[in-house]
A and B are shown apart, each in its own frame.
Chain A
Amino acid sequence: MKRPRPLSRRGVLRGAGVTLALPWLPSLAGASTNTHTAPRPPQRLSIFYLPNGMRMDSFRPARTGTGFELPPILQPLAPLRERINVVTGLAHANAQPLGDPGGAHGRSCASFLTGAHPKPTEGSDLRCGVSMDQVAAAHLGTDTAFDSLQLGIEPSSLLGSCDIGFSCTYTNTLSWRSPTQALPVMVSPREVFERLFGDAAAVDPASRARLFDRRRSILDFVIGDAARLGGSLAASDRHKLEEYLTAVRDVEQRVQRLAGQDLRWVSEEITLPPGIPADFATHVALMIDLQVLALQTGLTRVATFMLGRELSNRAYPEIGVPDAHHSLSHHGGDPTKVAKLVKISRFHIAQLVYLLRKLQDTRDGEGTLLDSTIVLAGASLGEPNDHDCMDLPALVAGGGLPGDRHLALPRHTPMSNLMLTLLQRLGAPVDTFGDSTGTLQQLDAAEAGRGLA
């Protein structure tokens, strides 16, 4: 045998942390004397962040308990209401000024997942708290390729668009590994993709067209080859071949969809790197796909996703709202502006539906990915016009929780209590978090009666 090379390619890459974890597979657990397979699916956490607060009048259901009428913003959730818990009455006391000047968005965003009171600074001496996703990551992410993923839609370094007196970092990310280390958010699907799987793709229309043409002839070839193969196979094996063909067609469709597109799109307001789709919903869907992919393949068990940076001034002409989001959020009671704001929030919730559906449609062990993933969606402000951080919106779904509930908590229940409750559900060995004062018995109380989903 030839002597092994002193530094193997594998060794090098292993050091770079790109080895992948093995996902859990249910049908085989306990099927043999071998116990390599984990006895239950790993629990996962997905945080879905909605920027610029929430118009609570259009978010809070009129009634509590089950069977309530969905308010306008939540209506897109109707098909999934069985999985959704609307939680109201939450507050982040630490997001209040507490003697500090200005910067309500910087503070609220920074405290959203940390329950901490961020230090007002535009310098590098940032200080906040360890965020809830990182507590979860420390517990769930020890054997995954990435202990957590931070995904977003808007690029972070938009100088001059951050909150007064607060570093951009406070509004760019939700994740804090330590009180001084904020984790950057990835917004380019390609970047995420290359991070996860490492490959470069053509971005200009000409290369894409060539790619598409080439793939079409390859597609014909593999379909023909599969057909010739299919005849001689057993039924179960034909099923596998079917699976292959479905996958091939999926690839084809995606290539077709992206073939003509110019991914070098440059908007007038912000400059996006190559590979970011121009269309908001397409971009969001791609990022969600990547997130679900990462969760599904076991690359990570913890993901945060910011539908926009806090203070986002994105406009949504595609739904008839060509106005800047943050500006609209300070509507001053103007019914036209409020209507537009509600429209944006509704649109945002529709993106959440995409995530939930995707999780629900993805098998994981004996259930779905949604069954093993706790999804927490929320904003760091309630009524944005007032920068209200003492009446916050939250939606909790999945992770084995029952749904179709509106839990109206006593006013000013710390948001940290919800975080702590979810962390404990994920098995994290913590008994306090942020400014928590306890756990939310309500989430668990209903379980006794309804049983775990």
Chain B
Amino acid sequence: MGNAAKRASLYMILLGLWSGSAGLVFASPGEMPEDAQAQADGFLQRYCSRCHNEERFAGYWALVDVDLHAIARGEQLEAWEKILRMTRDGDMPPPLRKKQPSPDDRAQFAAWLQGQLDGYSARHPHPGHSALRRLNRAEYANAVRDLLGVDLVEASSLPADDSGYGFDNIADVLTVSSTLMDRYFAVAGRVSRLALGVDPAAPARTGYQVPKDGSILNQGVPSFNERSSGALPIDSRGGGAFEYYAPHAGYYELAGFLNANTNNEVDRLPENRYAQQIWLDAGPHTLGMSFRRELGLDESVQTLRNTTDIVPMPVASPALTTLDFVVDGARVASANVPTFHESPRFAQKNFLRDVLQIEVEGPLPTPDLEATRAASARELPSREAILRCRPGRGARAEQRCAKRILRPLLRRAYRRPATAEDLASIMKVFTAARAQSDFDEAIATAVQALLVAPRFLFVVEDTPPGLAPGTPHRVTDTEFATRLALFLWSSGPDDELLSLAQRQRLRRPRILRAQVARMLDDERAAALTENFAGQWLFLRNLDYHRADVEAYPDFDVRLRAAMREETERFFAAVVREDRSLLDFLKADYSFLNERLATHYGLEGVYGPAFRRVALPATAQRGGLLGQASLLTLTSYGNHTSVVRRGQWILDALLAAPPPPAPPDVPALVAERSGRALTARQQLELHRAKPACASCHVKMDPLGLALEGFDAIGASRSEFAGQAIDLRASLPDGTTFEGLPGLQTVLLARRDQFLRAFTEQLMIYALGRGIQPQDRPTIRAIAADAAADGYRAQQVLLGIINSYAFNHRRSPES
């Protein structure tokens, strides 16, 4: 039974149930019996017409504009979906109004209306609009990595993609500009040469800026006595490490600029540059520099706060300390450096010595560099993987070998078996390049061409011949494999997926389930966290967040990175371990390192490494809303925002975003009679204005319950000298208190949350916005998952099995 048919029958059953429980009688779907319509009309007249009439025109619509019969014609679906959402979730009629339907009436109306909408959708399956989709930069970088077997493209080195519907993988929005092509050409050229080891051995310099801050006011938490990276020796402190791809074996100069210990830690002084020559084999490495961790610090830290004008001088001369040069986790060289920099004007010693910037330059010219290059290139794993043969003598042997090399690359790059035409066309590039360069370079040029080819850059889906324009049809198995890989990996399908697809086996339910499990288990599934969760939860914004250092001296890039990592690991665990999605709302575990645990006031977590931590009931953490990342990114730099937090919850967790604030919104009054007002008092004044009240009654209580967390997500009990009151009440009169109370409120709306989550994931999976015809699907997927313990992978599979994910419409013209 096809998906559509299965869905349709499911709807029939559900419709039957609804009509039974709602006491409404149906002749057949699509035909509306008089009394059912009369009841629905009566409901709308009774509860909606008072405001949604032509006179008052609340929300810019009147009841006379909509027609229940339109649903059967596939019209006004969006309006009716909205009416359904509002009435079902209790947002309409406004909770403050006296005249409210009884819960039974409300449920009956919602069930009946939903039945109408679901019924239409079941009878008219619609794959939605699908456009030629360009790989976005993350997908491009991953696809290149998986094609060449070496991770050389950093997505952020490509121009940012536009985003729509909250995500940057929306087909309609991903355009191609000359800037983009410039970058793709450049990146493709560099990557193909590096992967094949055919780059000229010219020395090049690469710089890495160590993430470090907190020094602007000579305060903050210099985490200088912490091991700054897992790639550095375990007894190290400070410094940093970064990934570097050595194009050739040879000697490289590894150099670091140390801090100048001035009041402004940005100087890169030549006298603070320390360099050593190190040997690197060709290929990827982790390079770093760090100091030795001191258990009893003998480098003093001056805690005096300075201004730019008052610069205290050091009282003693600097001692010497050891600076280590680290390659792939091992100390390969060291230098003795003074514990602080002395200069006639700036010298002070506010901070321990640390590394601000690391540079690597090479390979350094040596007499036999070319020979070394040729020898070392042969050992590159990526090169070995690509060059499946060595050409024999003669042009024909070379052509044969080139074809053997390029055919599998074409298949992976184009995400379908290579045709004779494909091969002939890329062989022309090879042949032209071969006329000017050696075999390997000519292959590199052909690879570069593949990486800018339209069939690589665009996700091409073919229309079966003879199909009338606008006809829905099932995408091929290989096309489906690509959709799947883009969804879960943000990359192209691997050989296993392609092979199953070519044999028409991928969509067999058991095989598909196993493949999805395999894919989620794979390291590449990190893309789902980074790209989906990063955008769904606005986590990406955290990277740009700068808390006010004066108000929050604890906030620095390390803490910020730890915040993000907690949420990413948490999200990944829920998906990978197929846990309940309700963990997002409330959970008794999280992922912490020492820094973050300390931030949360939790003891017993040591070191910079993250691990799963069981949260005690008293922790007042757990779930997304107890995580510092979200509490921080919904705050301003120097204070919390009840409104932003409330709005974030409505938007991201409940898909019920409040309308944008009116243009003439009055600012909050921060003090009265010289006394600072709490957020609660400020908002009470604000809500007293009728224009503000209607939205703020929804947002404010959610945010108020989180006032126990400050603007960087640390616990607090008072603000402006007053104890914080965490009690809040919803428009319907429900009262609750603090994070646990909020969690109870949200769990009561668990189905709404699940639909919201499914909707977000669906947008991401389909690479397009949600259309009203998708909503019945979203409801069905969410309902299935709810019936199955809210399990995360149930939603993923629901989307993967959905009609829209498996079908497309033939082009209109």
Contacts and interface: CB of A to CB of B under 8 A. Distances in A.
Interface of A: 1-2, 4-7, 9-23, 25, 27-28, 31-37, 39, 124-125, 142-145, 178-181, 197-201, 207, 210-211, 213-215, 217-218, 220-222, 224-226, 228-229, 232-237, 240-241, 243-244, 246-248, 250-251, 254, 293, 297-299
Contacts of A27: 164
Interface in B517-548: 520-523, 525-526, 530, 535, 538, 540-541, 543-546
Contacts of A232: 462-463
B425 A224 contact: yes
A201 B182 CA distance: 11
Interface of B: 131-132, 134, 151, 154, 156-168, 170, 173, 175-183, 185-187, 189-190, 200, 204, 208-211, 229-231, 240-243, 264, 266, 286, 308, 345-346, 421, 425-426, 428-429, 432-433, 436, 445, 448-449, 452-455, 457-458, 460, 462-463, 520-523, 525-526, 530, 535, 538, 540-541, 543-546, 557, 561, 565, 576, 609, 637, 651, 655-657, 660, 759-760, 763, 769-770, 811-813
A16 B208 contact: yes
B167 to A, nearest CB: 8
Contacts of B308: 178-180
A214 B445 contact: yes
Contact of A22 (B163, B187, B449): B163
Contacts of B452: 218, 222, 248
18 contacts: A12-B208, A12-B241, A12-B242, A14-B543, A16-B211, A18-B157, A19-B543, A20-B160, A31-B769, A34-B165, A214-B445, A218-B452, A225-B425, A232-B463, A233-B811, A234-B132, A244-B181, A250-B182
A240 B455 contact: no
B128 to A, nearest CB: 13
A7 B161 contact: no
- List the 9 shortest-distance A-B pairs measured between CB atoms, nearest first: A6-B230, A234-B811, A15-B211, A250-B178, A36-B166, A20-B160, A237-B132, A28-B164, A247-B181
Given A234-B812, A237-B132, A22 B154 contact: no
Given A6-B230, A15-B557, A197-B183, A221 B523 contact: no
Contacts of A235: 811-813
A17 B156 CA distance: 10
B4 to A, nearest CB: 23
A218 B523 CA distance: 33
Given A25-B162, A25-B173, A180-B308, A293 B179 contact: yes
Chain B at the A interface: SS class? mixed
Contact of A1 (B173, B454, B458, B522): B522
A226 B168 CA distance: 24
A214 B454 contact: no
Given A16-B211, A200-B190, A214-B445, 18 more contacts: A1-B521, A6-B230, A13-B154, A15-B209, A15-B211, A17-B211, A22-B162, A22-B540, A37-B166, A125-B345, A142-B546, A180-B264, A198-B157, A214-B189, A220-B428, A221-B425, A225-B425, A232-B462
B559 to A, nearest CB: 12
B175 A243 contact: yes
A22 B189 CA distance: 26
A244 B180 CA distance: 10
A126 to B, nearest CB: 11
Given A9-B243, A243-B175, A2 B523 contact: yes
A73 to B, nearest CB: 32
B477 to A, nearest CB: 18
A34 B651 contact: yes
Nearest to B82: A33
B95 to A, nearest CB: 20
A229 B189 contact: no
Contacts of A211: 189
Contacts of A18: 154, 156-157
B611 to A, nearest CB: 11
A430 to B, nearest CB: 15
A233 B174 CA distance: 17
Contacts of A297: 159-160, 179
Contacts of B538: 36
A34 B160 contact: no
Contact of A36 (B156, B162, B421, B535): B535
Contacts of B175: 240, 243
Contact of B182 (A124, A220, A236, A254): A254
Given A34-B166, A37-B163, A221-B449, A198 B154 contact: yes
